[in-house]
Structure 1
């Protein structure tokens, strides 16, 4: 299936996302912060990235901006997964370059559907 990077500083959320996507056959690489996410996508480009917005150090929004500014990664599908649900937060997420925006709490089934939809579109 696909190689997916998951970045979330909350270990429970990170493990839940990793478990759900792994059970669907995806190869999941999980990291705890935005800087590690950027390092990982530059080291070995995944097929998709799922990033938390609020992480220590580099936020998910900053990570998306770095990814979008890298010509070799600019078309990488990115989903932001966050507790920030205000309309302005969603707008900021899309303005930063995200392809999708999912608010916490979230349904693992919905996450899986959105991941699959983005992977299908990217192919």
Structure 2
């Protein structure tokens, strides 16, 4: 990775995706950059983790298409919750149609990354948002 090693030292990211292989890919790349990573399988799981955690992660990556609660609804719930509303949220999804991207922005995401993605680009995006704060 280009100068990204250690960028996340002491920083945590919650990775939310219903596909185990995608969670694994994102986790491994973020961990290689020095981030600590927690995982959730859908929006409901993510909200339960966030609301019960002793401290919030520095960022959340979240898919759109998931069972029980999708990423759009979960992002809207995060933005509506005063305890969570300042979290950095990065949507990572196959939903690349302009209308889908707009739904993500309207829900309150800070960045929108379309799958398949370049892992280095995703790590750099997370690192930049964690370092500089929400957009």
TM-score, normalization by structure 2: 0.88
Deviations 1:23-73 (A, max 9, x none): 111110011111001111112211100001100010011110110011111
Q: Which runs of 4+ in 1 moved over 4 A?
A: none
Structure 1: tracts of 5 or more residues without a match: none
Q: SS at 1:105's partner residue?
A: coil
Q: SS at 1:115's partner residue?
A: helix
RMSD: 1.1
Equivalenced residue count is 123
Structure 2: tracts of 5 or more residues without a match: 1-9
> Residues 1-123 of structure 1 correspond to what in structure 2 (within 5 A)?
1-44=10-53, 45-122=56-133
TM-score, normalization by structure 1: 0.96
Greater helix share, structure number: 1
Matches of 2:101 and 2:75 in 1, distance apart?
14
| Bigger radius of gyration among the two | 2
Matches of 1:43 and 1:20 in 2, distance apart?
26
